[in-house]
């Protein structure tokens, strides 16, 4: 077959690097795949289009969401499975992987990027239809783009404040004091407190509490941890103190908040 001869020629230079051609990538299967792709109209998106999305993502440009979403699981995308839902799910995993790498290249913390990727891929198990996968895909894109936009805005903060924000993020489960943060950034405690409030608009201790309460809402929604376990995990001195601060911030107790979340349709 002419197609086979063409593929043989295309791979001839590569045979210097490979002692054999794997069975799954033999010329006959590639020729058949080429035919099916051509007849069905499915083609892989170009590397140039992916790099365009990469640059937009790293700039925090929300237009990247619509661009990537319109390309996701579209007729212009390579076919990954014969079953449509399986194809869309495979495409979703590929997209999450790309966005994760793009975000890391743009400066996103590796651990946060990979943790986020894991969580978004795990959520795929809950998707029963193609539309649900597409909705989750958009949510994932918005998350990464917003994070990159926030990352760019962080450059408006001084280095000590950025270091404090990062330290707080990774130590919410530990005791954190202004003096500890001051030592971490090698500044006087009073000066750091003034600097932090001037740039963030919130006193350091209030900022720490806000982040802990935000994490508490997530744990109440997505885990079966008890209120006492959550209070202990997030560094509150007691469950009663946790309940007091939660109700003061959100106008509802942690227990009632969890009950409301359970009543919401999934």
Tens digit of each residue's pLDDT, the chain (266 residues): 444 444 444 444 444 444 444 555 555 555 554 544 454 444 455 666 777 777 777 777 888 888 888 777 655 455 666 788 888 898 899 889 888 888 888 778 888 888 899 999 999 999 999 999 999 999 998 998 888 888 777 657 888 998 998 899 888 888 899 999 999 999 999 999 999 999 999 999 999 999 999 889 888 887 889 999 999 989 898 999 999 999 999 999 999 999 887 755 44
Residue 260 confidence (pLDDT): 85
Tell whether 227 and 169 lie within a shared domain: yes
Give the residue numbers spanning the domain of 209. Answer: 157-263
Q: Which of 228, 203, 201, 207 is nearest to 216 (CA)?
A: 228
Question: Quick check: is 143 in a domain?
Answer: no
259 shares a domain with 172: yes
Answer yes or no: do 29 and 68 share one domain.
Answer: no
114 and 66: one domain?
yes
| Claim to verify: residue 179 and residue 234 sit in the same structural domain | yes
Output the pLDDT for position 7. Answer: 43
Domain CATH number, residue 174 = 1.10.10.60
Residue 256 inside a domain? The answer is: yes
Residues 188, 224 within the same domain: yes
Number of compact structural domains in the chain: 3
Q: Are residues 124 and 191 in the same domain?
A: no
Same structural domain, 244 and 192: yes
Is there a single domain that holds both residue 182 and residue 224? yes
Residue 140 in any domain: the answer is no
Is 206 part of any domain? Answer: yes
Please indicate, yes or no, whether residues 63 and 28 belong to a single structural domain of this protein: no
Residue 164: inside a domain, yes or no? yes
* Closest to 77 (Cα-Cα) out of 94, 62, 61: 94
* pTM score, whole prediction: 0.53
Residue 6 domain-assigned?
yes
In a domain, 151, yes or no: no
Tell whether 168 and 244 lie within a shared domain: yes
Domain for residue 57, yes or no? Answer: yes
My answer on whether 92 and 31 are in the same domain is no
């Amino acid at each position: 077959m002419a197609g086979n001869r063409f593929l043989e020629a295309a791979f001839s230079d590569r045979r210097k690097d490979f002692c054999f051609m794997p069975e799954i990538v033999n010329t006959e299967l590639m020729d058949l795949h080429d035919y099916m792709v051509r007849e069905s109209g499915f083609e892989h998106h170009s590397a140039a289009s992916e790099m365009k999305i990469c640059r937009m993502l790293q700039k925090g440009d929300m237009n990247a969401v619509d661009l990537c979403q319109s390309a996701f699981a579209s007729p212009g995308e390579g076919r990954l499975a014969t079953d449509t839902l399986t194809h869309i799910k495979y495409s979703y995993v590929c997209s999450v992987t790309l966005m994760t790498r793009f975000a890391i290249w743009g400066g996103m913390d590796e651990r946060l990027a990979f943790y986020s990727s894991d969580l978004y891929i795990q959520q795929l198990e809950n998707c029963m239809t193609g539309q649900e996968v597409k909705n989750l895909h958009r949510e994932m894109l918005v998350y990464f783009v917003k994070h990159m936009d926030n990352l760019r805005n962080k450059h408006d903060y001084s280095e000590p404040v950025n270091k404090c924000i990062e330290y707080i993020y990774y130590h919410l489960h530990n005791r954190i004091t202004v003096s500890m943060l001051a030592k971490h950034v090698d500044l006087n405690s009073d000066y750091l407190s003034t600097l932090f409030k001037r740039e963030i608009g919130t006193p350091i201790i209030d900022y720490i509490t806000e982040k802990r309460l935000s994490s508490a809402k997530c744990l109440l929604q997505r885990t079966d941890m008890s209120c006492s376990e959550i209070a202990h995990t997030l560094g509150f001195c007691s469950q009663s103190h946790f309940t007091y601060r939660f109700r003061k911030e959100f106008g509802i107790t942690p227990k009632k908040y969890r009950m409301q979340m359970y009543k919401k349709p999934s």
